[in-house]
A and B are shown apart, each in its own frame.
Chain A
Amino acid sequence: MKSKIDALWKWLDERLDLSQIIAFAQHKTVPQHKYSFWYYWGGISLFLFLVQALTGVLLLIYYRPGPEAFDSVRQITYEINFGWLIRSLHAWAANLMVASIFVHMFSVYFMKAYRAPREFGWWSGMLLLMISTVFGFSGYLLPMNELSYFATKVGLEIPTSMPIIGPLIGDIVRAGPEVSEYTLQRFFALHVVVLPALFVPILVFHLWLVQRNGMALPPSEEARPVQERKTIPFFPNFFMKDLAVWLITLNVLALLAVCFPWDLGVQADALKPAPLGIHPEWYFMSAFQILKVFGNLLPGDLGEAMGVGIFTLGIILWMLIPLYDPDSRSGERARHATYFGLLVLAGVIVLTIWGYAAL
Chain B
Amino acid sequence: MSGTKETVTRRDFLRIILTGVGACYAAAIGYPLWRYLISPAEQAKSLAAVKEVTLKDAHTLAAGSVLMFKFGSHPAMLIHHKDGSWVALDAVCTHLGCTVQYQPDRNVIHCNCHGGEYDAQTGKNISGPPPRPLRPYVVKVIEGGVLVSRV
Contact = CB atoms under 8 A, between A and B. Distances in A.
A189 to B, nearest CB: 24
B44 to A, nearest CB: 13
Contacts of A58: 33, 36
Interface in A63-81: 79-81
Interface string B38-77: 1100110000000000000000000000000000000000
Interface in A49-103: 58, 61, 79-83, 85-86
Contacts of A82: 32-33, 35-36
Nearest to B32: A82
Nearest to B42: A81
Contacts of A86: 32, 36
A243 B37 CA distance: 27
B6 to A, nearest CB: 23
A177 B38 CA distance: 41
Nearest to B35: A81
Interface string B92-134: 0000000000000000000000000000000000000000000
Contacts of A80: 36, 39
**Residue from the set B37, B39, B42 with the largest chain A CB neighbour count within 10 Å:** B39
B32 A85 contact: yes
Contacts of B43: 79
A205 B109 CA distance: 61
A81 B45 CA distance: 14
A61 B38 CA distance: 12
Nearest to B36: A82
The interface residues of chain A, by DSSP majority, are classed as: loop
B32 to A, nearest CB: 4
Nearest to A251: B25
Contacts of B38: 81
Contacts of B32: 81-82, 85-86
Contacts of B33: 58, 82
Contacts of A85: 32, 36
B47 to A, nearest CB: 13
A249 B106 CA distance: 68
Contacts of A81: 32, 35-36, 38-39, 42
A68 to B, nearest CB: 15
Contacts of B35: 81-82
Nearest to A85: B32
A86 B35 CA distance: 11
Contacts of A79: 39, 43
A83 B36 CA distance: 6
A196 B36 CA distance: 24
Contacts of B37: 61
A79 B36 CA distance: 10
A66 B39 CA distance: 22
A82 B32 CA distance: 6
Nearest to A82: B32
A85 B39 CA distance: 14
B71 to A, nearest CB: 22
**Residue from the set B33, B35, B36, B43 with the largest chain A CB neighbour count within 10 Å:** B36
B12 to A, nearest CB: 19
Nearest to B31: A82
Given A80-B39, A82-B36, A85-B32, 9 more contacts: A61-B37, A79-B39, A81-B35, A81-B36, A81-B38, A81-B42, A82-B32, A82-B33, A86-B36
Interface of B: 32-33, 35-39, 42-43
Question: What 3 pairs between A and B have smallest CB-CB spacing?
Answer: A81-B35, A82-B32, A80-B39
20 contacts: A58-B33, A58-B36, A61-B37, A79-B43, A80-B36, A80-B39, A81-B32, A81-B36, A81-B38, A81-B39, A81-B42, A82-B32, A82-B33, A82-B35, A82-B36, A83-B39, A85-B32, A85-B36, A86-B32, A86-B36
